[in-house]
Amino acid sequence: MHSPLQTQQPEHRSRPMMMTSTVSEIEEVIIPDEDDSNTTTTTTLLNASNGEQIRRRVSGKSLVDGGNRRISRQQSFSREIGHAAAETYLVTRLSFKLLRYLGVGYRWMTRLFALACYAMLLMPGFLQVAYIYFFSSQVRRSIVYGHQPRNRLDLYLPSNNDGMKPVVVFVTGGAWIIGYKAWGSLLGMQLAERDIIVACLDYRNFPQGTISDMVTDTSQGISFVCNNISAFGGDPNRIYLMGQSAGAHIAACALLEQATKESKGESISWSVSQMKAYFGLSGGYNLYNLVDHFHNRGLYRSIFLSIMEGEESFEKFSPEVRLKDPVVGKAASLMPPIILFHGSSDNSIPCDASKTFTDALQAVGAKAELVLYSGKTHTDLFLQDPLRGGKDELFDDIVSVIHAEDNDALTKDSLAPPRKRLVPELLLKLGREVSPF
């Protein structure tokens, strides 16, 4: 890859985010006393109302099995079942509502059928990832970060806890309609293997919410990570923001909006200076240039306008266009280095979307770089290549930027074994052919 972008350590410390729930995560750390006869339990509560850590210590031999050290997370099984049932009901209700928006249409129905075929072909890999997602102790699922529906995130933690880890906040794609935090599980697991914490954000999808809700949710999720990630071993001064497809657009909107607020001196709960870099993968940043393209691919103009709150809101939610505003253009100088990744054979969102956004950023003095991958499609970079195992250009490029200032980590990266293949090559090639994206 190109030489890693150099950034300065952010000096700003943001205020804790305000939330309505009281406790979002509980961890118990059991530390044996010197004689191992008694133990002291330190319970760390992340108080969501003020972002502070509250520690309680409880002594008792009964808390330790065999006197061995262990770290356990208490979860209520009944609460998990209740949450799953509520999510299932909500998704079902919203699916019927979405069908009323879509109506009977040849394009979207054929895309849906192609999506089903694509998922079946890649199912061997998806099942392996799902097993780790649900049963690995390194995955913390559905941590609440806000009071709105789907204000939850998943954390992927490295297996070792030696020192503070860099953090990637990842916003998944899904055409603003089917985005879900678990879509980032493969990326989260693979980055965690390189000692990087990953927080995959969920946000309200259409028709549950429109674009302003998605941006608000994402910004709130970023704020939660900035103010609480140290409790999980993350370094609050080494946070990277990343989005894929629709998630790249939403994350870019949130980042630019936050920079604009900060430049005006408005009250903020997190600062763009806390971001070491922004990675935009296969994103679209100018809605005016995408509406007809999406219509021809099955995301009909009427639905797209509903998602984006009408054509009158296109400018507000087009980061590329907003940069033409002198106030916003000036605020862009506050943003971290921006690296946009795109495949040259991407038919879902043409690579020109990243090219023109890079040019617009550079025109206002922002640090921006474009990395194009020859012959790669919309799903190659995010799914087929990671499932193939072995060397992965995009993955290596991202890790090289995150570890650019850590020589020990770079050495470990160079010695890391090749990642194992999760899906046979034949199925990957067939999946590439039937992919609706």
- Cite the active site residues: 245, 346, 378
- Pairwise CA distance, residues 108 & 186, whole Å: 27
Tokens of 330: 């000036």
> In angstroms, rounded to a whole number, what is the distance separating the alpha carbons of residues 234 and 155?
11
Asked if 186 and 387 touch (Cβ cutoff 8 Å), the reply is yes
Specify whether the CB–CB gap between 370 and 358 falls below 8 A: yes
Starting at the edge strand that comes first in sequence, how are the strands of the sheet with 39-47 ordered?
53-59, 39-47, 23-32, 70-72
Contact yes or no for 307/339 (Cβ under 8 A): no
Q: How far is CA 318 from CA 110, 251, 302, 328, in A?
A: 29, 12, 18, 12
Strands 234-244, 275-281: pairing kind: parallel
Distance CA 182, CA 426 (A): 25
Nearest CA among 386, 388, 374, 307 for reference residue 342: 374
Cis peptide preceding 207, ω within 30 of 0: yes
Please measure the distance between the N-terminal and C-terminal CA atoms of the chain and give it in whole angstroms. Answer: 26
- Two tokens at 421? 């293949």
Token couple for 419: 């990642």
The DSSP-derived string for 317-377 is T-HHHHTTSHHHHHHGGGSPPEEEEEETT-SSS-THHHHHHHHHHHHTT--EEEEEETT--
CA dist., res. 78 & res. 156, Å (int): 23
Whole-number Å distance between alpha carbons of 171 and 339:
15
* Torsional class of 143: left (φ above 0), alpha (ψ -120 to 50), beta (otherwise): beta
Distance CA 27, CA 35 (A): 24
